[in-house]
Structure 1
C-alpha cells in the first residue's frame, strides 16, 4: 500500500509514521526540507504543499491513501481536492474533537454528536473543512475519511495552561510556585498517547469501509483535571501548589485562554470509541497517562533546549492569580 503523509513528523503523526513503516506500508512524506533527518524507512518528496511550483514530483504519483496532517481551512481542502481528485483511493483529513457541540447537551460523545463550536475560530475552520469534504464526497465521490483527535500527546505536555510545547507550568511546579487548574478540577477529560492513537489510525489506512465516515480515536481512560495535574506533578517528582479558578474568570482576565478553556477543556467530555473499535477491531489504548507522561518528560529531559518557558504565559498566570486573590 502506497501512502502519502503531508506532515508526518509532528507530535501525533510521528508515531503513526513509525507504525505504518513497521506494518510494511510504502510510506512517503511530503517534506519542505526543514527536517533534514527524516524518519528511517520513509521516502521523502521535497516540496511545499502551498507552493504549486514545487510539486512537480508529487504530480507524478498516484496513491492508495493521502493523509493531510496540516490542513486547517476550507482553502486547504480546496487545494487538496484539486491536487488529489482521481489520484488517491482515500483521502484522510485530520480534524479535531474540539469541533463537537460546545457546550455539550449530552456528556457522552459519539461521531454523531453535532459539530458546533462558535467559541473558537480553529474549530470553526475545521468544521467548515469537514463540510467541504463531505460535499465533495457526496457530489463527486472524493474518497474521504475524517479523523478527530483529542488532546493527543507524545512530545507535548497535555495540560490546559502553561503546557503543550512549553515547560512553563512544569517549571512553576518544580520551583514551588502556584499553578492554575481551571474550575474545581473535577471535570472529566481524556488524554491519549500518540502511540495508542496510531494503532487506530493506521488501521484506517486503505480501509474501504471507512470511506465517507468520521472517527475519533482516544484512550478509554477517564481522568479528572485534578488527577491529570497530580499525575503530572508526581512524574516531575514534586507536589503541585494548585489554585482552582473558574474558567469564566480566567478568560475574563486573559481572553487568550478562551479557545483552550471555554471552547474546549472547560467541561467534562467522555468519548465513546465503539465506532473505531468496530472498524479496527485490533484497536485498544493501553498506555495510561501515568506511564505516557513519563515518556514525554524523558523526551524533554533528553534535550534541555526543549524546556521552553514562555515568560509572557508566566506573566498571564501571575496576573490571573493576583486578580483572583484580590476578590
Structure 2
C-alpha cells in the first residue's frame, strides 16, 4: 500500500512509519523537516500545514492510505483532507479518548457523547482539537475516514515520559513511592500495536471510530512496576501506599505519579474504556513486560525523553525527588505489601 504519513517523526507517527517500512510499503512523510530523521527508503516532503500554501508539496501525489497524527487546530486537518480527497483512498486520523464529553461512565464505548468542536476551529485545548479533527476528517472523507481513539500510549519513543519516568526513577534505586493498590488495573496501548492495527484497518477500508487500547486490566500497577525493577536491574524497593493519604497530600494522579488513576477518581474512566469493537476488528496487545523492557532498552540508547515534535515543551511529569522523599517519610506502614515477581519478558503477543 502506498502510505502518506502527515508528520512521521514523532512518537505515533514514527511508529506508523516503522511498521509500514517493516511491511515493505512505499512510504512518504510530510512535515516541516525540523524534528527527527527519516528512515532509509522513506520519501520526505517538506511543508508547513499551518502556513498559506503550506500543502503545496502534496500536489501531484497519489496514495492508498493517509495517516494523520495532528493534534493542533482542526482546520489544519480539514485543509489536508480537502487537499487529499481525490488523491487518497483512505484517511486514518489518530484521535484520542480525550474527545469524550465528561462525565464519562466506566466501560463507555464509541457511542459515548463527544465534546462539541468545529472542524474549522483554531487551536484550542487537546480534547477540542482532537474532536474537531475527527469532524474535519469525516466531513471530507465520510466513511473512508478511520478515527483511531487511542488511550494511554506507551512504548519505545514515548515523548511525554510517563513510563520513562517510572523506569528512570526505579533505576535510581532506594525506596520508591508506589501508588496502590498493587492490583489496580491499568489499561493502555503499546504504540507498535496501535500502529499495526491502524494500518491493518486502513488497508481494509474500515471507517468510523474505535477505542484503540487494551482491555481494562491488561496489566496492573504491581506488575508494571515490578517489571520495571527487573528490567532495570535496580535495587529499588517499592513502598506501596494506599491512595487516600496520597490524594490527601495533594498528589495528582496521572501527572505526579504517571499512569496511576485510582478507583473512584474522576478520571478513572481513562483506564476503563470499552474496547469490544477494536478487539473484534483484530486488535492484539503484546504483554506488558515486552513494552516495559523495550522502552528501557530504547531509553538507555537515546538517553532522555525527546521533545514532542511540533508542539511547545510540556511540563515534566512525575514527582520531584524532594517531594517524594517527604511523602515516603510521612508514610511508614507497619507492614509491607508483598508483590509477586514480574513475568519473564517474551516476544509473543497476547490479547
Instruction: Provide the residue aligned with 1:275 in structure 2.
Output: 277
Instruction: Provide the residue aligned with 2:209 in structure 1.
Output: 214
Unaligned 5+ runs, structure 1: none
- Report the Cα distance in structure 1 between the residues aligned to 2:154 and 2:19, rounded to whole angstroms: 16
Do 2:94 and 2:148's aligned partners in 1 also have CA atoms closer than 8 Å?
A: yes
Instruction: Provide the residue aligned with 1:288 in structure 2.
Output: 287
Q: How far apart are residue 322 of structure 1 and its match?
A: 4.1
Q: How far apart are residue 3 of structure 1 and its match?
A: 1.8
Instruction: Provide the residue aligned with 1:228 in structure 2.
Output: 224
**Aligned to 1:70, what secondary structure does the other structure show?**
coil
Q: Which has the higher helix share?
A: 1
> Within 5 A, what are the aligned runs for 1:108-187?
108-115=107-114, 121-134=125-138, 136=139, 141=142, 143-155=144-156, 163-164=161-162, 166-167=164-165, 170-171=168-169, 174-179=172-177, 181=179, 184=181, 186-187=183-184
Q: How far apart are residue 148 of structure 1 and its match?
A: 1.3
- Report the Cα distance in structure 1 between the residues aligned to 2:319 and 2:291, rounded to whole angstroms: 29
Aligned length: 310
- Report the Cα distance in structure 1 between the residues aligned to 2:28 and 2:174, rounded to whole angstroms: 46
What TM-score do the two structures reach when normalised by structure 1?
0.75
**Aligned to 1:89, what secondary structure does the other structure show?**
strand
Instruction: Provide the residue aligned with 1:203 in structure 2.
Output: 200
Do 1:8 and 1:17's aligned partners in 2 also have CA atoms closer than 8 Å?
A: yes
Q: 1:314 to 1:78 in 2, by over 3 A?
A: closer
Q: How far apart are residue 293 of structure 1 and its match?
A: 0.8
Instruction: Provide the residue aligned with 1:249 in structure 2.
Output: 247
- Report the Cα distance in structure 2 between the residues aligned to 1:146 and 1:324, rounded to whole angstroms: 43
Q: How far apart are residue 173 of structure 1 and its match?
A: 5.4
- Report the Cα distance in structure 2 between the residues aligned to 1:307 and 1:61, rounded to whole angstroms: 31
> Within 5 A, what are the aligned runs for 1:4-43?
4-35=4-35, 37-43=37-43
Map Cα deviations across residues 283-305 of structure 1 (whole Å, 9 max, x no partner).
433x2111221111011112435
Q: 1:307 to 1:56 in 2, by over 3 A?
A: closer
What TM-score do the two structures reach when normalised by structure 2?
0.71
- Report the Cα distance in structure 2 between the residues aligned to 1:263 and 1:46, rounded to whole angstroms: 42
Do 1:98 and 1:263's aligned partners in 2 also have CA atoms closer than 8 Å?
A: no
- Report the Cα distance in structure 2 between the residues aligned to 1:3 and 1:251, rounded to whole angstroms: 49
- Report the Cα distance in structure 2 between the residues aligned to 1:206 and 1:165, rounded to whole angstroms: 31
- Report the Cα distance in structure 2 between the residues aligned to 1:42 and 1:263, rounded to whole angstroms: 43
